[in-house]
């Protein structure tokens, strides 16, 4: 029987707010067994960029990352946000280890090309070193992953945190029974945007296609759900989209093949 | 017989310049066997702080670190400088792992108090987890350490990189025959500041006291040498102060008890 592994992805809105970060650190620390955290940090990156006189350009929810913006996200994701989470987890007795894809070459990517928009230094994942991550987990270490990867030739690349969570979950699915949880500010996928009670508790591919067609699911939720379905199809045992303050209750939208 | 371990400390001037960083990455990558890198990054921190409208205050060569400056050094040391070095080493096939003291709780410190100057969020080292670092080294991992530690209660602290290098060397001295090398912009300790040919090839404690008394050694070189002597006295096999582009030739000032 494979051991259980929980992979939690938390967005910038959660980790950049003192109250929600504290709650998240508490609930994540209370988990037993192997676990891994993937975080964002886009709001802080946008804020720091603005204070440095750099304008943030987003195309379809993705950050255009020129050389200056890459420096900002390397500072904010790899340094500020990552190390604050690591220190907070350490204070709860969790042996957290901050990682980018460049660290021990755990996530290799290539610069995105051939798109209508030049996203700059943005990387699409080629491979995750599941063996190395499994060794860390077996040693009791808790990886805390920033949304940065590298191309193996010395270039850091900005990489979507949802994608990193899904790719890491897939890479570990043969070794662990993986539960992948995407935390955000809503209870899950909602039928009506402003009505938390309209939560859709379960969704399969057919339901997803229908919800896309009728416009219930749109915008940034589409790539998020695509990541979820890709993970489930690749052998990830369970995928949940949930609110950051209640993911540990299991309330949210469960994704099925 | 204990295995050899090389610990290299490189200052900000070296890692923040494309040419010297490339040379350093090449020479460090060419080393075989267990090795560990400790880096600074003060110049970039000062530059980023200035662009964010923050003034850098140094007292006796040490940065006064208020809450805003702590955010800057966490971004610059833990993120920008650390991850750029890690990615460059990865490109040379070195499985580099960026670490602060908070990561896996490898370096615990306490906030400096009781000094005439309030340095703010500056930490003095209490203990280094030599066992954890040795496990990484035995697994072939190459730690790349940023000059940040934590107090175990969630607070990151700015910590002098020379001190981190010396403390890590001491913590590993019972397990490894450690060579600790401080790289900077000169050939070693010089009798005359502008004359690289006036290199002092060997120095013991008595010579150090004499050189301090006659003013040959002054300023920031005094705490650097104190770190060196403390390391040698604590069982570190060899300590060398050398130029960043020639440390691998063994030319420089060797420190003896």
Query: What does the pLDDT look like over B121-149, one tens digit per residue?
Result: 999 999 999 999 999 999 999 999 999 99
- How many CB atoms are located within 10 Å of the residue B237 CB? 16
User: Average pLDDT of B214-219?
Assistant: 91
Q: Residue A215: pLDDT above 90? A: yes
Q: Residue B115: pLDDT above 90? A: no
The nearest CA of chain B is from the CA of A16 a distance in Å of 13
Q: Does A1 touch chain B (CB under 8 A)?
A: no
What would the 3-class secondary structure string for chain A be? CCEEEEEEEECHHHHCCHHHHHHHHHHHHHCCCCEEEEECCHHHHHHHHHHCCCCCCEECCEECECHHHHHHHHHHHHHHHHHHHHHHHHHCCCCEEEECCCHHHCEEEEECCCCCCCCECEEEEEEECHHHHHHHHHCCCEEEECCEEECCCCCEEECCHHHHHHHHHHHHCCCEEEEEEEEECCCCCECCCCCHHHECCEECHHHHHHHHHCCCCCCCHHHHHHHHHHHHHCCCCEEEEEECCCHHHCCCEEECC
Provide the pLDDT for residue B160. Answer: 94
Which chain A residues are closer than 8 Å to B135 by Cβ? 139
Length of chain A: 257
Q: Decide if B79 and A84 are in contact by the 8 Å CB cutoff.
A: no
SS3 B218: coil
CATH for B160: 3.40.1160.10
Q: Does A149 touch chain B (CB under 8 A)?
A: no
SS3 B159: coil
The nearest CA of chain A is from the CA of B36 a distance in Å of 13
The nearest CA of chain B is from the CA of A62 a distance in Å of 21
Provide the pLDDT for residue B74. Answer: 98
pTM for the whole structure: 0.96
Pick from B49, B50, B102 the residue to mutate for testing the A interface (most A CBs within 10 Å): B102
Provide the pLDDT for residue A13. Answer: 83
Which tokens in the block code for residue A10?
């938390």
Q: Which residue has 């500056």 as its token pair?
A: B122
Kindly indicate the confidence band of residue A115, based on its pLDDT and cuts at 50, 70 and 90. Answer: confident
By residue range, what is the domain housing residue B139?
A: 3-255
Q: Which residue of A has its CA nearest to B157?
A: A87
Q: Residue A220: pLDDT above 90? A: no
Pick from B86, B144, B155 the residue to mutate for testing the A interface (most A CBs within 10 Å): B86
Pick from B24, B82, B90 the residue to mutate for testing the A interface (most A CBs within 10 Å): B90
- Burial class of residue B69 (count of CB atoms within 10 Å of its CB; 0-12, 13-18, 19+): buried
Domains: count for chain B? 1
pLDDT-wise least confident of A13-22, A145-154, A246-255, B171-180: A13-22
| Torsion angles phi and psi, residue B152, rounded to 5 | 80, -5
Q: Which residue of B has its CA nearest to A98?
A: B103
Q: Residue B184: pLDDT above 90? A: no
Q: Which residues pair with A63 in a beta bridge?
A: A58
User: Average pLDDT of B81-102?
Assistant: 98
Provide the pLDDT for residue B223. Answer: 86
Q: Does B82 touch chain A (CB under 8 A)?
A: yes
Q: What pLDDT, in 10s, does the model give residues B224-234?
A: 899 899 999 99
Q: Decide if B51 and A53 are in contact by the 8 Å CB cutoff.
A: yes
CB B128 within 8 A of CB B167: yes
Q: Which residue has 């205050």 as its token pair?
A: B57
User: Average pLDDT of A178-201?
Assistant: 93
Provide the pLDDT for residue A161. Answer: 95
Provide the pLDDT for residue B17. Answer: 85
Kindly indicate the confidence band of residue B220, based on its pLDDT and cuts at 50, 70 and 90. Answer: confident
Q: What is the mean pLDDT of chain A?
A: 95
Q: Does B50 touch chain A (CB under 8 A)?
A: no
User: Average pLDDT of A182-206?
Assistant: 93
Kindly indicate the confidence band of residue A165, based on its pLDDT and cuts at 50, 70 and 90. Answer: very high
Q: Which residue of B has its CA nearest to A72?
A: B80
- Indicate the helix (H) or strand (E) that contains B203: strand B202-203
Question: How many angstroms from the chain centroid is the CA of residue B60?
Answer: 17
Provide the pLDDT for residue A155. Answer: 98
Q: Decide if A156 and B87 are in contact by the 8 Å CB cutoff.
A: yes
Q: Residue B96: pLDDT above 90? A: yes
Q: Which residue of A has its CA nearest to B71?
A: A80
Pairing of strands B148-150, B156-158: antiparallel
Which chain B residues are closer than 8 Å to A99 by Cβ? 97
Kindly indicate the confidence band of residue A173, based on its pLDDT and cuts at 50, 70 and 90. Answer: very high
The nearest CA of chain B is from the CA of A70 a distance in Å of 9
Give the residue among A183, A219, A186, A226 at the shortest CA–CA distance from A203.
A226
Provide the pLDDT for residue B179. Answer: 97
- Indicate the helix (H) or strand (E) that contains B143: strand B142-145
Provide the pLDDT for residue A46. Answer: 96
Q: Does B140 touch chain A (CB under 8 A)?
A: no
Q: Does B71 touch chain A (CB under 8 A)?
A: yes
Distance of alpha carbon A118 from alpha carbon A120, whole angstroms: 5
Q: Decide if A51 and B53 are in contact by the 8 Å CB cutoff.
A: yes
Pick the residue with more confidence: A152 or A193? A152
Nearest beta carbon to residue A104 from set B104, B141, B150: B141
Q: Residue B25: pLDDT above 90? A: yes
Which chain B residues are closer than 8 Å to A87 by Cβ? 102, 150, 154-156
User: Average pLDDT of B70-93?
Assistant: 98
Q: What pLDDT, in 10s, does the model give residues A48-89?
A: 999 999 999 998 778 999 999 999 999 999 999 999 999 999
Q: Residue B14: pLDDT above 90? A: no
Which chain B residues are closer than 8 Å to A82 by Cβ? 78-79
């Amino acid at each position: 029987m494979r051991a259980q592994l929980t992979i939690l992805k938390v967005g910038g809105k959660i980790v950049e707010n003192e109250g929600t970060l504290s709650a998240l650190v508490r609930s994540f620390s209370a988990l037993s067994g192997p676990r891994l955290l993937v975080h964002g940090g886009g709001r802080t990156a946008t804020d720091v960029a603005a204070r440095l006189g750099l304008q943030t350009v987003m195309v379809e929810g993705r950050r255009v990352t020129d050389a200056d913006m890459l420096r900002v996200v390397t500072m904010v994701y790899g340094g500020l946000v990552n190390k604050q989470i690591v220190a907070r987890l350490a204070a709860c007795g969790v042996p957290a280890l901050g990682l980018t894809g460049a660290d021990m070459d755990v996530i290799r990517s290539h610069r995105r090309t051939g798109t209508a928009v030049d996203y700059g230094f943005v990387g699409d994942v080629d491979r995750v070193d599941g063996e190395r991550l499994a060794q860390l987990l077996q040693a009791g270490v808790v990886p805390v992953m920033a949304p940065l990867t590298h191309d193996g030739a010395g270039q850091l690349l900005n990489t979507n945190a949802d994608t990193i969570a899904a790719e890491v979950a897939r890479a570990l699915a043969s070794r662990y029974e993986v539960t992948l949880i995407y935390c955000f500010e809503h209870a899950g996928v909602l039928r009506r945007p402003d009505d938390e009670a309209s939560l859709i508790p379960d969704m399969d591919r057919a339901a997803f296609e229908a919800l896309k067609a009728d416009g219930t699911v749109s915008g940034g939720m589409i790539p998020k759900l695509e990541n979820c379905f890709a993970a489930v199809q690749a052998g990830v045992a369970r995928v949940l989209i949930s609110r950051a303050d209640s993911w540990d209750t299991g309330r949210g939208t469960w994704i099925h093949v």
